[in-house]
Each structure stands twice: as structure tokens, then as C-alpha cells.
Structure 1
Amino acid sequence: MPVNAPFHIDPREFADQRVLVTGGTKGAGQAIVRRLRAAGAVTVAVARTAPPGDALPGHFVQADLCTPEGVETVVRTVLDTVGGIDILIHNLGGSSAPGGGFASLTDQLWQDELSLNLLGAVRLDRALIPAMIERGRGVVLHISSIQRRLPLHDSTIAYAAAKAALSTYSKALSKELGPKGVRVNSIAPGWIRTTAAEALVKRMAEHSGTDEGAARQGIMDALGGIPIGRPSWPEEVAELVAFLASERAASIHGSEYTIDGGTVPTV
């Protein structure tokens, strides 16, 4: 379990700020929603599957952002319920590709990985950022991955390529939007202890015919180890998001922040 945070959350820091979090019902996305809502934000979470009961506070939109129709549903619902978005956080991502390297990736698998990890953000940005430009303010955060720099060739080639594209797109977007009052940054997490990460472990174990412990160690070995000795907790990623989305980071723009426990071995 994560250690209780030794910091104070200002319950008014994001007062009246409207925040949209994609992939906002599980893992880091859920932690982000809870963290920003605790600081006064009006939150809208988007996911393909609805959370059970009242498991997640704030507004929820059920939509598939891998499709243009899903993006249209989100935009229409956002305008009807909260009138617009001030902070846009693209946490949606993941991989369902099997192990086995490049030869196991069909055209459809490549398209699925690109739609999930890149094109959903591109479409939603195109729909919601113009209103930020009109107001002369806004924040956009893209959640990328250290795998854009350290791809795992056995299982995440397409995912890593899509996240690399997302980081490049984010940088390009920052060049365009900075002069218009909209800040754009990205975050590259390493291994986060989520249900999606555990699902990857299971798929790799099934493919290699080993147990989950061996598959988990295989991921650690492929990453070169994690110097702090553990994956990050979703709440730690959420804390970095809260800082970058806040006025405390008002001059941070066009940057990518890594949160990986020291996994990336280079400067």
C-alpha cells in the first residue's frame, strides 16, 4: 500500500476549475480524479466502462475515445453538463497486444494501439482546445510512457511507438498553444501498480508458459530494474499531475516529466 502523503491538500486550489480526465475510472486516472476533486475541481471522468455505483465522485461519461463518435459523445456531454473544460488530462492508454515481438502484430493490432494511445487524445484536443484559446487560458496534460524511450520488444512495440508519437505531438502542440495562453506538458510514468499492469503480467506469463512471478521479474529485467525497488503508486502520479495542472507550475510548458523510480538510466 502507498505511504500516506505527508502533504496538505488545499481544498480550494482548483475551485471552479472544470477538469476532464480520460481513462478516469481505474488506476492512475481514478487517482487523478480523486486528487483534483479533493482540491475543489469539478471533475469529468471518461471511460468505456462505467465504475460501479458511486465508486467515483464527480461526473462520468461512458464513451469509447478510440472512435470519432465517442469523442463527439464526450464533447456534447461536457458542454451540456459543465459548459466546457479548463484542464484536459489525457490519461487513456494501454496495450492489449500479445507477446511475441513484431511478427505477432497485425495491422489491426497496430491500429488499435494507435487509436487508444494517440488518436483519442488528438481528436479530443481538436474538439476542446479551441474554447481554451478563446478564453486565453487552459492546461493540457498528456500521459505518455517511459516506453517511448525503453520499449519492451516482446510485448509493447506498438504501444511504445504510439506513446512516442504522443510525446512528439504534445511538444508540437505546446509550440502552437503557448503564445495563446494554453499550457501543454506531458508525463512519462514508468511501471505503475495498476490492474492494467497486472493484466500485462498475466498475458506475458501465458505466452511464455511461466508463472506471474517470473513474468513480473521479466518486466523488471527488461526495464533494467527500478532503483527504488518498486513500481510507482497511482497516487504518486496524481500528485505530479496536480502540480503541473496548477498555477504553481505556471511557467512550465512544453516539457515532459518522468516518474519511474529511476528506471530510465540516462540523463
Structure 2
Amino acid sequence: MDMDLSGRTALVTGSSAGIGAAIAKRLASEGSRVVVHGRNADRAKAVADEIRASGGEARVVIGDLSTDGGAAAAVRAALDCWGGIDILVNNAGGPSNPSLNWDNAGPSDWVATFQLNVVSAVRMIGGCLPGMKERGWGRVIQIGSIAGISPAPFTIPDYSAAKAALHALTIHLAKSLAGSGVTANAVAPGLVISSVLEDYFRSLPGNAERAWEDIEKDAAESFSVKVGELTKPDHVASLVTYLASPLSAHVHGAVLRADGGILSSAA
């Protein structure tokens, strides 16, 4: 299916690895010019090189979005790449410290997590949105989490609250953009497999000699993933690509789950 993205320019924050890299590659494969962003120049360059090797267009911007200066510099560099940003994917973020809980997380930890996951997105929206509104077309997509819908017990309360705030930010932004030609939506992934997570599951007792397919099936069952396999970065990228395309014109102010059915509900 042609997603009608040729000639559009996308900025994907935190796209030097993982979900962000998958999103950048998928958008490029559909014809978008992609600005790859990260804090590690070598990793970001590797993603951009892979996109170019596959026939796509990509440039690299480096910057720490958790500070005003770093975000402003990243926005300026991204806008300079091709003269504007049509699609902003706010993917940069994550737990500031995965071991935090209510016993050891202090106010400064909460501030750091919100800077990383929420305020960074606000900064990027502030820098990219005016051009979208001026041109009468644009897409703002946040990468949230099912932790922001149904927080996990005991751990990372700061991260769950930050992702919930990001979802609410998206809905409020969508309402403010009525009639502008710019849509705002969020994708909430579930348990997304990574090399670190795969290594963890392989290290569990009894898994050393088992095939990954069997390990993954058991892991999916233990986490109530209804489709029988863990979510992959490409699954998230597919949904983001749809939201970035003109085909999603009537999806606005939505938080769409990509969790394999973990939070199956009618709402």
C-alpha cells in the first residue's frame, strides 16, 4: 500500500536505536526524508547510513532534548536539513532510572523523568508546530506506553506518570489544533522486545538450550500478550507510519495501543 509520504520530511527523536530506528527506517522506506536524532553520533549515523543504503534520504541531528538549549539546537538543525518538518515523532524518552520505586524515588528523580519524557516533547512541538500550521498540514505523534494507561505495580511510578502526562498532552494538543490540518496522536506500546530483554529471557533458568520461539511464546503468555508473540519495534513503526500518512486524516486526539492485546478493552 502506498502511504503517500513521498516528499514529506520526518523528524524522529531518539531514533539511533530501538523503536525510534525502526520508525525512521519505515518512514524512509515509504518515501519520507528522515532526520535521525540521537545523543550518540556514531549510532545515529549508522541508522542514517542504513537508510541511504536502501535508497532513502536521511540526515543526522545530535542533541540532548532534556535541556532548553539542546532541544533548540536540535530543532534548528532539523529544520535546516530540508527547510521544514512535516512529521514529528516524539520517541525520545524512557525511565530515568528503571530501579526507582516509591521508596527510593525523590522529587529530583521525578523532575528528571518528566524532563526526559514530557518537557522534551513540549520543546520539540514548540519548535516544529508553527511551520506545520503555516503550511496547513502536519503530524505530531508521541510514543507513550501502556504504563501510562495501566501502571505496573511497585516499579517506575515516575515513568508511568510521565507517559500518562504525555497521553494527556497529546489529547489537549489535538483539541487546540482543530481545523489546522495538523493532527496529534499517540502510540502506546506494550512489552517491546529488545536485545537486552531477549538476553534476559534467555538467561532465565531452563532457557539456555531452548529455541527462542518457545521462550518468546512462554514470555508472551506470562505477560498476557494475547497474540502469542512479544511486540517488535516494527509493529510500533507500522502504526506510527499509518498515523504519519494522509490515510489517517480522521484519526485525531487518539492514544492507540500496540501491545499485542495486553490491555484488551472496549475503551
TM-score range with shorter-chain normalisation? 0.7 to 0.9
In 2 relative to 1, CA 24–100 (structure 1 residues): closer, same or farther, beyond 3 Å? closer
**Aligned residue for 1:206?**
none
In 1, are the aligned partners of 2:171 and 2:254 still within 8 Å (CA)? yes
- Displacement, 1:212? 5.3
Q: Does 1:47 align with 2:46?
A: no
**Aligned residue for 2:169?**
169
Equivalents in 2 of 1:115, 1:70: separation in Å?
Answer: 12
In 2, are the aligned partners of 1:35 and 1:242 still within 8 Å (CA)? yes
What residue identity is the alignment partner of 2:181? G
Equivalents in 1 of 2:112, 2:101: separation in Å?
Answer: 16
What residue identity is the alignment partner of 1:243? Y
- Displacement, 1:229? 2.8
Equivalents in 2 of 1:158, 1:168: separation in Å?
Answer: 15
Equivalents in 2 of 1:26, 1:90: separation in Å?
Answer: 14
In 2, are the aligned partners of 1:178 and 1:253 still within 8 Å (CA)? no
In 2 relative to 1, CA 32–20 (structure 1 residues): closer, same or farther, beyond 3 Å? same
**Aligned residue for 1:238?**
237
Larger displacement relative to structure 2 (146-155 or 124-133): 146-155
Matches within 5 A, 1:29-178: 29-52=20-43, 54-56=46-48, 57=51, 58-99=58-99, 101-178=101-178
**Aligned residue for 1:13?**
4
What residue identity is the alignment partner of 1:19? A
In 2 relative to 1, CA 41–109 (structure 1 residues): closer, same or farther, beyond 3 Å? same
Equivalents in 2 of 1:175, 1:190: separation in Å?
Answer: 26
Matches within 5 A, 1:184-203: 184-195=184-195
Equivalents in 2 of 1:248, 1:133: separation in Å?
Answer: 19
- Displacement, 1:63? 0.4
Equivalents in 2 of 1:231, 1:197: separation in Å?
Answer: 10
Equivalents in 2 of 1:19, 1:196: separation in Å?
Answer: 28
Q: Does 1:253 align with 2:260?
A: no
In 1, are the aligned partners of 2:100 and 2:157 still within 8 Å (CA)? no
In 2 relative to 1, CA 131–262 (structure 1 residues): closer, same or farther, beyond 3 Å? same
In 1, are the aligned partners of 2:21 and 2:47 still within 8 Å (CA)? no
In 2 relative to 1, CA 196–165 (structure 1 residues): closer, same or farther, beyond 3 Å? farther
What residue identity is the alignment partner of 1:244? L
- Displacement, 1:237? 0.8
Equivalents in 2 of 1:103, 1:257: separation in Å?
Answer: 32
In 1, are the aligned partners of 2:96 and 2:116 still within 8 Å (CA)? no
**Aligned residue for 2:212?**
none
**Aligned residue for 2:261?**
262
What residue identity is the alignment partner of 2:95? S
- Displacement, 1:100? 5.7
Q: Does 1:229 align with 2:228?
A: yes
Flag structure 1 segments of 5+ consecutive residues without an equivalent: 1-7, 203-210
Equivalents in 1 of 2:160, 2:203: separation in Å?
Answer: 22
Q: Does 1:26 align with 2:26?
A: no
In 2, are the aligned partners of 1:102 and 1:153 still within 8 Å (CA)? no
Equivalents in 2 of 1:100, 1:89: separation in Å?
Answer: 27
Equivalents in 1 of 2:228, 2:38: separation in Å?
Answer: 31
TM-score by length of 1: 0.84
What residue identity is the alignment partner of 2:191? W
Equivalents in 1 of 2:164, 2:47: separation in Å?
Answer: 32
**Count of residue pairs the alignment pairs up:** 246
- Displacement, 1:153? 2.9
- Displacement, 1:80? 2.1
Equivalents in 2 of 1:45, 1:97: separation in Å?
Answer: 25
In 2, are the aligned partners of 1:97 and 1:155 still within 8 Å (CA)? no
In 1, are the aligned partners of 2:75 and 2:127 still within 8 Å (CA)? yes
Matches within 5 A, 1:198-217: 213=204
What residue identity is the alignment partner of 1:31? A
In 1, are the aligned partners of 2:226 and 2:260 still within 8 Å (CA)? yes
TM-score by length of 2: 0.84
Equivalents in 2 of 1:37, 1:103: separation in Å?
Answer: 44
Equivalents in 2 of 1:235, 1:95: separation in Å?
Answer: 21
